[in-house]
Structures are given as structure tokens and as C-alpha cells.
Chains A and B, each alone.
Chain A
Amino acid sequence: DQQVKQNSPSLSVQEGRISILNCDYTNSMFDYFLWYKKYPAEGPTFLISISSIKDKNEDGRFTVFLNKSAKHLSLHIVPSQPGDSAVYFCAASDLPAGTALIFGKGTTLSVSS
């Protein structure tokens, strides 16, 4: 059973518009949530994170929203750029360090110009 779910395998957006990637989790012990971005033939790179004491974290064009009661988080990218085209993984952890990250299956974002 998947503890972290990304139910949309793919998303297509036009350049300049908003991209919204969603993630749901089932384990209420998760307190740290991370988004990673992965280009083909490269390892995942960290994008942004949020802890359960917050409901929003913003970094430039990227904002992550957390709804603990719904066990749902989302990543907003505004404005979307063609270089944002990649696979985005949602990951969760119950500790701030020293434990495995639990990953979703990823969402492939395609931004067209």
C-alpha cells in the first residue's frame, strides 16, 4: 500500500500559466514533506520543503501548500517555464533527519511554449 500518492501521472501546461501538482499521504506520522525534480538521466534534485507546523512555504516561483487535516499537499509553479518540464516527486518523512524518504510515483510536467 502506497503511503504517498501522486494520482496524476502527467500534467501539460502552457508557458506562463500556473502548474499545480498534487500529492496525498496516508501516514499521519509524516511531519516533513519535500518536492524533488528529476530530469532524464539525472538524479532527483531538491526543490522545496514544508514541515507540518506550516501550511505554506514559498521560494520564488515555487509554493508548497499543506493541508494536514486532508493529508494533502500541492506544489504551485507560477509562472511555468519550458525548463520546468521534468518529473516531480513528492516525498515524506516522519523525522527531520536519519530516516528514509517515502516517495510518490511522480508526475511528469510538460510546459509548452
Chain B
Amino acid sequence: GAGVSQSPSNKVTEKGKDVELRCDPISGHTALYWYRQSLGQGLEFLIYFQGNSAPDKSGLPSDRFSAERTGGSVSTLTIQRTQQEDSAVYLCASSLVRTANNEQFFGPGTRLTVL
């Protein structure tokens, strides 16, 4: 497929468990972003990867959240010891290193429910 893909599409977990969310960006896109959308809210930035540079982690809400990007392509967002307030749709986006307007292409998201 040509678009950003994410897996799983839905994840239900129990409070205190760890979860891993995966993102496959568009081929050739070196920039990768994670956002989350909580109920009734806009998209909230979490983390940004650009090539081999150190990621911008300024949006991560706590040290329970981490992400890595292997080989400059696939990214995994990990949430440790999940809490109910972590329930949200987690969206991944990718873009070219240079764009005219910061257009980012989004995947379908992973809906995380923490019971």
C-alpha cells in the first residue's frame, strides 16, 4: 500500500499492562510523527523522528511513554504500565524532509482502550 499503515487497529488492555503500537510510514518519508487524540480533543503531538537525528520527545506526557524508529522506517510506540487516561486513538504521520506547508500524511490510527 502507498499510505501510512498502523497496527493493531484496536487494542484493549488492562490497567498496568504494557502495549506496543506500530507504524509503517510512506516509503521515502524520512519524517515520522506520533500524535494522540483523546475523546473530544484535537490531535496532541507526542514525538517526532527525522532521519538519524535525535528524536523530539517534547510531547511525551510521562516517562511511561517511549518510541523508537528502527532503520529509519518502522516506528514503535510503547506505553508501559498503562493507565485509563492513556485511552485514546494513537495516530502516526509521515512526511518528506522538505515540504511547502508541513503537510503530514496520517495513518488510520490505533484505538487503545485501557480497562
For the side of the interface on B, what is the size category? 20 to 34
A-side interface residues, number (CB < 8 Å): 29
Output the least CB separation between A64 and chain B (Å): 11
Which residues of A are in contact with B by a Cβ distance under 8 Å? 4, 6, 32, 34, 36, 41-46, 49-51, 89, 91, 93, 95-106
B interface residues (Cβ-Cβ under 8 A, vs A): 4, 31, 33, 35, 40-45, 48, 50, 56, 59, 91, 93, 95-109
- Which are the 9 A-B pairs with shortest beta-carbon distances? A43-B106, A100-B45, A103-B42, A49-B101, A103-B43, A93-B102, A105-B42, A97-B99, A43-B108
A-B contact pairs, 13 of them (CB 8 A): A36-B106, A43-B93, A44-B106, A46-B104, A51-B101, A96-B101, A96-B102, A97-B102, A100-B48, A101-B45, A101-B104, A105-B41, A105-B42
